[in-house]
Structure 1
Amino acid sequence: MASIALIGPGRHGTAIAQLFASHGVDVHLYHHREPKAQTAAAQVRAVAKNAEVRIAHDLAAAVEGQELVVLTTLWDKPQREVIAQLGDKLTGKVLLDVSNPLDVTPAGIIPRPPVEGSAGQFLASILPAGVGHAKAFSNLATAFINESADMEPRAVLPFVADSADTERVVRDYLELTGWQPWLVGGISESKHVEIGGKYNAVHGRYGRSRLDAKEMLEYSGPEDSLTGVESGRTGRHG
């Protein structure tokens, strides 16, 4: 039975947890505010199919025994805090990042361009060595995550990864969700799968940011290859 840890289930994170649980993947949820974790768990359990949904009471328990950790907090400070708290407990795991370079302020949601070039590249700059790094779901509106799963033909889910090893792990999980994963490059290409990027702004068979495989091939060419790139779990790579 496949399982994942998901940290920080807000609206987007809860939708991703629902996607996995509705396709038979066990989900271990953690939120630093337990009432939010309870709310998210109830929403995920409502759609789960042959999957367990559990609440972890601390970060270490959430990631223990998990190969894939999905980080769905806001970017920058919350990510720094999670990574600092987990430290070497992330070693040997793959972190799937879904962040966008957006700040939530009293005045609303405000874009903040990262110095590194993208939210994905920012996260890469603070990840400890020995942690695989991939990015997906940032290009999708929250409503699209479950709405467009299990289409025929499948909708394409673009993702980036830091190595061929990371790519294989992430692809195996994404293929369970009713989407067709499509590698579009290394972490240096993160901006293209973030808000405003080429895979967010494009319109396809199923609407904005959702192409089928034929459309994807015409739009951006065949899938990328990271063959020969050293594993992100022995060091960071872009």
Structure 2
Amino acid sequence: MPTYATFCGALALGSLLLAGCVSKTTEQTQYSGFLPGYQNLQEAKSPSGQPVLRWVSPSFDSANYDTVAFDKLVLYPAPKPDDRVDLKTLQELQLYASNSVKSVLSKRYLLVPERQAAPPGSHVLEMHAAITGVSASNEGMHWYEVVPVAAVVGAVSAASGHRDQNTELYVEAYFVDAGSGQTVAKVVRKVFGETLSNESEKITADDFKTAIRGLTGDMAAFFK
């Protein structure tokens, strides 16, 4: 018969294990196919210290460009709205993220919607970016096999819909040197939004606005 102290200790240990099991980066099984290729991606830290999967050509220098061709983040693959993430939310996320990216890029570069719109003689960097997923999940549930006492509380909480959930936004992007046609950088990033109180709570665009500002802040530092 477990004592109260054992019970509390199991819960504490379980919480630590649960936090450690949450993947901070996109899993290979979650790659959308948006990038021209996923080879050479390496785990790295963004300027703000967040984990990111990234590849940058050794020859890439942001100072070599004066113009960026970017229209908006696309929703890829074709969105499939559901009861928790409706089409309006996806479109709001798309608009907010696209405007945030444009705000950052326009501070340093001439911003055009497509390469053909760049002035003659421009050194153009093309940006292709997509929101590839929006989700909320109870991650790391498998630790309950290790902590059977905590499993009882965890299982009841999850079954009743009262377990906190992570909100997750998946973004993929690649950059092309318009002159050579070569891809010069690729990034796959998973960002966490606000925590939802249960599995019935709807996901909204507001849940990710702080996370998107953090993401575009990292972009500004990368292109400084």
Question: Could you state the TM-score of these two structures normalised by the residue count of structure 1?
Answer: 0.24
1 or 2, which has the higher strand percentage? 2
Larger Rg: 2
Q: Provide the TM-score with structure 2 as the length reference.
A: 0.25
Structure with larger RCO (C-alpha < 8 A, sep 6+): 2
